[in-house]
Structure 1
């Protein structure tokens, strides 16, 4: 494992702040995390800090619909600016506003809206603005539907590289219940600057919500093999340089996909860490003292991943740094090219999922991907 170089108060609207200045709503960690993500999106052009704080000041947490309603209003203001700029031929400003509108609509839908009408309005707006951004991007992106099963298709946003020859593709996966549109803001800039194409995939399809029972009997690993099949037939894609990146750090879905299909050239995921952690928890609950430590055994999932493997984690995340260090040491001993990078509190990107500074984490991740996927033309 490698380390990366490394007063509470209450606002007038009743929002509390932790000792680091982050908003912290009592009993609403989901909203607190969502607002942190919104602020962090400003670094990638997905929001503006002033709009985030202004919208927050208008939210009444006593109202079940206020969160979604206020973010929708902010999103629609950005969408209107985008349309006006587009009509005037100012496409750079139009793209910037469509991207911010996508983020704000996403915030209105995440966590899941309190009102079905508001949720549909938020999701429809998010998808509408994301498509506008893709269509007016240079080179233009597109919305894809990738066949998975007889009754399910994967929906994806494809952003081709500005480098015209065959090149690497980064497949970014949102967890079940998330939306692919959020991944555009988080990863598009990092991929484009390095000459990578980006495929952002989610498991929602065209649904506003996909109930868990719809996924029963369908293996996620098979879905990712379908994605590889699809990309292998696309022009401008080097099928030997397709990498997979998990958007969330608390699931082993992507790790299992990387272990089941040897065609991936690199993988950024949890290496099955959460599978082990959850297994250890159930053993403890059952009183099985023989398997109390979740890293006592070599991880079958990480052993099955043949491609280069990167795990990133934060010191202030859900797992203790000591346990992460031990897991990283074990990972290095059983895999020919694997490492765990731990971000410390003193440098940020240390919260669960790096939500406090995803830019810092993504710079490390995409540098690692660039090293593993080989030389390519760089953009100026």
Structure 2
């Protein structure tokens, strides 16, 4: 931990430092920012990361003006991640938070516009007066490609996937659709609250959108839930039979919520999750999923690895097509969402997806 007395700062620092090997930061810039951060001061956190973001944004703009697009793309990606990092601990009432997020969106969309092949900013109608935004990144040199829909956690933005995922998808002939759902993304200030059924209908609407594209093979669409977004991916796959593969949590977060509520209804008595796991799994929403499932978990993730193993074993015994990968501390990638080593996590996950819906490269 960078700051042993401040777990939240240390976790976020690990996230942004781990992004270096994916192009979302540089090691030297991260260490320079950390050296000037006072872990008791949110202001110092904001100032240092915003400074790094501004420098990268300026370098990117100058490189683009000089015709050096590769350099511009790299700098815009880093700037977007640094702007995202700068605002993480700011109060919603602080106007600078909105400014930092607008800069993150702007840098991300500059990247989409200039990358080859160019990405698209797409939107779908979701309710009477609401739209949802996504980024579509087509696979190179492929007429009707398999697609992976990527779902973020509630506290994430789809922009964070721009430096993490395209390389792994495109090297395997897969297109990507990075999506917002209600309460996420550029409309977060408008759609603050949403329920579980909003999740299912929104994901199905994104599937409808893909089915109408001429450059997509609608029989080969996978869903990938990153971090806590894995529970959203489970719900999406459980209520839409069109998915060909799902990287999700197999309903395990949902089971924990149900166990907690059962304990509250029983008068607050603690639920022995391990003891009741077989009973809980019999009612898991994951049993509605008809496609192959991958559960990818770090040994030191927020969910207990032993509970996850029991759940997956129970689902497999009931006939579910389910694979479990636990990244151990000895190989790294053992933290939540493999933030400490995202490369290892993404390599394994996209190989698994390609084996089921895409071309192996």
Alpha-carbon distance between aligned partners in 2 of 1:217 and 1:310, rounded to the nearest angstrom: 22
1:292 aligns with 2:272: yes
Partner of 1:143: helix, strand, or coil? strand
Q: 1:331 touches 1:339 (CA, 8 Å); kept in 2?
A: no
1:322 aligns with 2:306: yes
Partner of 1:162: helix, strand, or coil? coil
Deviations 1:259-299 (A, max 9, x none): 00000111000010011122223333435889633522224
Alpha-carbon distance between aligned partners in 2 of 1:154 and 1:111, rounded to the nearest angstrom: 25
* Bigger mean CA offset, 195-204 vs 121-130: 195-204
State the Cα RMSD in Å: 2.1
Tell me the TM-score normalized by structure 2. Answer: 0.91
Tell me what 2:345 maps to: 361
Query: Which one of 147, 152, 173 corresponds to residue 195 of structure 1?
Result: 173
Extract unaligned runs of 5+ from structure 1: 1-21
Partner of 1:120: helix, strand, or coil? helix
Tell me what 2:10 maps to: 32
Tell me what 2:38 maps to: 60
Task: Please report how far the alpha carbon of residue 152 of structure 1 lies from its aligned counterpart in structure 2 after TM superposition.
Answer: 2.1
Partner of 2:156: helix, strand, or coil? coil
Change (3 A) 1:212 1:128: closer
How many residues of Structure 1 are paired with residues of Structure 2 in the alignment? 354
Tell me what 2:208 maps to: 229
Partner of 1:194: helix, strand, or coil? coil
Task: Please report how far the alpha carbon of residue 52 of structure 1 lies from its aligned counterpart in structure 2 after TM superposition.
Answer: 0.4
Q: 1:64 touches 1:114 (CA, 8 Å); kept in 2?
A: no
Q: 2:158 touches 2:185 (CA, 8 Å); kept in 1?
A: no
Deviations 1:155-186 (A, max 9, x none): 11111111231011111011223211001111
Alpha-carbon distance between aligned partners in 1 of 2:90 and 2:74, rounded to the nearest angstrom: 25
Task: Please report how far the alpha carbon of residue 24 of structure 1 lies from its aligned counterpart in structure 2 after TM superposition.
Answer: 3.3
Task: Please report how far the alpha carbon of residue 63 of structure 1 lies from its aligned counterpart in structure 2 after TM superposition.
Answer: 3.1
Alpha-carbon distance between aligned partners in 1 of 2:210 and 2:41, rounded to the nearest angstrom: 45
Q: 2:49 touches 2:83 (CA, 8 Å); kept in 1?
A: yes
Tell me the TM-score normalized by structure 1. Answer: 0.87
1:264 aligns with 2:248: no
Change (3 A) 1:258 1:318: same
* Bigger mean CA offset, 57-66 vs 184-193: 57-66
Tell me what 2:153 maps to: 175
Task: Please report how far the alpha carbon of residue 50 of structure 1 lies from its aligned counterpart in structure 2 after TM superposition.
Answer: 0.5
Deviations 1:214-262 (A, max 9, x none): x258521000110001111112111111111001247522201100000
Change (3 A) 1:25 1:372: same
1:152 aligns with 2:144: no
Query: Which one of 277, 281, 285 corresponds to residue 301 of structure 1?
Result: 285
Query: Which one of 17, 21, 37 corresponds to residue 43 of structure 1?
Result: 21
Q: 2:221 touches 2:243 (CA, 8 Å); kept in 1?
A: yes
Task: Please report how far the alpha carbon of residue 331 of structure 1 lies from its aligned counterpart in structure 2 after TM superposition.
Answer: 2.4
Alpha-carbon distance between aligned partners in 1 of 2:255 and 2:196, rounded to the nearest angstrom: 22
Tell me what 1:206 maps to: 186
Deviations 1:281-329 (A, max 9, x none): 3333435889633522224311100011100111112333332222221
Tell me what 1:129 maps to: 107
Change (3 A) 1:147 1:290: same
Alpha-carbon distance between aligned partners in 1 of 2:271 and 2:44, rounded to the nearest angstrom: 46
